[in-house]
Structure 1
Amino acid sequence: MSVEHMRSWKIGDVAVTRIVELWKFTDHINMTIADAEPEEVIAMDWLHPHYATPDGQQIMNFQGFVVQTPELNVMLDTCIGNGRDRFYDVFRDLNTSYIEDLGTLGLKREDIDVVLCTHLHFDHVGWNTYWDGSQWAPTFPNARYLFGKTEYAAWQEMRSHDDHGPHDVRHFIDCIDPIMERGLADLIDTDHRISEELWVEPSHGHTPGHIHLCIESNGERGVITGDLMHHPIQTALPSRPARFDMDPVAGKATRESFVEKYKDSGALVIGAHFADPTAGWIRSDGDGQRFFGVGLED
């Protein structure tokens, strides 16, 4: 993916930069909200043209984030990765410039101090490793990889089942196991603090043990959602069932509490899969609320 799609935001002294692997991926809205129809999307003027097509399909990105504090370089979620065998054809055998894009920030693979995975779905762990010509090796050799303790345990249990559907576990072989085998991983609690500016909060539902990243620096606040929501429409409709939530009841409760907490808070909300503008604010709007992307506030 071209560096032209990279974007950066400042939260106090913390810089957040997105690296995009799949740009403006479109699909039926019920990929995200199980009972939604295109007519609902068409009726929401604020979704157009950035987050939806004229015929009511959703637009989203597959992307990861570099979070830089004055002391640490953190990779948050590492996308899909090149040369992978995946359940969905669109994610199979990619050949993107993810690592080269990282270099435009003046960073080498060896400069990353922490890799944090909000959860362990295949599209959030891919660049944990790369093919070095003979094996899957850690992409960021000097980093500590942070996986949720509850999350990791739940996926290990799932590995005992032969599931090759949307929650396929085969990606563990090339993205997670090589990290664990080399002793580079720390299994963290759902309230783990990474640094003075960065900590995680629990957002169970999409997966068991899902977390999201909170940022605070110089009086400014931000949050990167992970997959507690996939599309800005969910800020307006947090109670609607999300198709890929492994625990739909918990996922609904998580979205509702997240929207309530961050609505009108001033915190910059960065959506893990939100198209451009990826960052913005959840604000009251009439009898409800919606997402106001940076540059689209009016």
Structure 2
Amino acid sequence: MDETPLPPATGPWLLPDATPEVVAGQDWLRPHFADDRGVLRLHSHTFAFTLDGLRVLVDTGIGNGKERANPAWHDLDTDYLQRLTAAGFPPDSVDLVVLTHLHADHVGWNTRLADGAWVPTFPNARYVTSRTEREFWAGYDMEEARRHMFLDSVIPVEEAGLLDLVDVPAGGAAITPHLRLLPTPGHTPGHVAVELTTPGRTVLITGDCIHHPVQLARPAIGACVDIDPERSEASRRTLLGSLADTDTLVLGTHFAPPTAGRVVSHHGAYRLSPVNADAGRS
């Protein structure tokens, strides 16, 4: 579910080492993931699907009406919930919400405004995130903007008794028989990728371990907001190595449409071979 495209200035801010020269050297990024000037295209996505008899949402995007320091995220007014409902996932029907990490553009639709208060958008769902992730932020000296985000998008879910913290060991954690959290720390300490398996198909949702396909060609390119850049790079390299030249379908949380693709070896690193997004629906 494509919540909103992000402005062109996002790329140079988020991935400063992905210069126009670096991007221009990767012809395969055009036309989907970069323009002819070497400007990256990024979006904000969430992923809705049915699996193991459950209606699942992975990450909840930026959200509407949230007071945010980033102007691209501030006070949005999109038709996201209407489109989610039209796709067959009305909020009351969602059973499971998986949060790859607790950043503002991944937890925003955790809540919605009702009668002047922030309440869980998916009141019948179990919200799941890594225990390491929540405990890290609990002990972190947050700046005002992040504290405000927790107050409007995380704390109300906790107070409603809906947030479930999960231990994620090195081998991953099974949330349902066919949905597994894979530890990919670095961007945040408890960051996870999400692996789905169905007969004949494996799907991997990246979260922010990989923000943009240019990082397949240059895994050393990190995000300016990575808490531990070296660990983030190591997680990215390990993940890409496990995905390369397999049939696993990769869905990038910030990849511009078509969003879905397969990782293939390319000139000593990797590239993304795009696949029609419909192929990623379970």
TM interval, shorter chain, is over 0.9
2:38 is paired with a residue whose SS is coil
1:278 corresponds to which of 235, 247, 259: 259
* 1:72-111 superposed matches below 5 A: 72-111=54-93
| Residue matched to 2:123 | 141
- Match of residue 280 from structure 2: none
Instruction: State the aligned residue count.
Output: 274
Q: Is the 8 A contact 2:18 2:214 kept in 1?
A: no
Q: Is the 8 A contact 2:216 2:269 kept in 1?
A: no
Q: Does the aligned pair in 2 maintain the 1:28–1:57 contact within 8 Å? A: no
Give the alignment partner of residue 53 of structure 1, picking from 30, 35, 57.
Answer: 35
Equivalence for 1:256: 237
Given the alignment of the two structures, is residue 185 of structure 1 paired with residue 163 of structure 2, yes or no? yes
Structure 2's unaligned 5+ residue stretches are 278-282
Asked whether the equivalents of residues 111 and 142 of structure 1 are also in contact (C-alpha less than 8 Å), the reply is yes
Cα deviations by residue, 1:45-97 (Å, 9 ceiling, x for unpaired): 11111111221111010111102115001111000111010011111110111
CA RMSD, 1 decimal: 1.7
The residue type equivalent to 1:185 in the other structure is L
Runs of at least 5 residues in structure 1 that lack an aligned partner in the other structure: 1-18
| CA distance in structure 1 between the aligned counterparts of 2:205 and 2:214, rounded to whole angstroms | 16
* TM-score of the two chains, using structure 2 as the length reference: 0.92
**Equivalent residue, structure 2, for 1:170:** 148
Q: Distance in 2 between matches of 1:107 and 1:36?
A: 36
Q: Is the 8 A contact 2:56 2:98 kept in 1?
A: yes
Distance 1:66 1:210 in 2: 19
> Displacement, 1:43?
2.1
Identity of aligned residues (%): 38
Which stretch of the first structure deviates more once superposed, 206-215 or 106-115?
106-115
| Partner Cα distance (1:295, 1:136) in 2 | 36
The TM-score, its normalising length taken from structure 1, stands at: 0.88
Q: Does structure 1 retain, via aligned residues, the 8 Å contact 2:12–2:18?
A: yes
1:29–1:38 Cα contact (<8 Å) kept: no
CA–CA distance in 2 between the matches of 1:80 and 1:98?
A: 10
Where in structure 1 do 4 or more consecutive aligned residues deviate above 6 Å? none
Task: Name the amino acid aligned to 1:149.
Answer: R
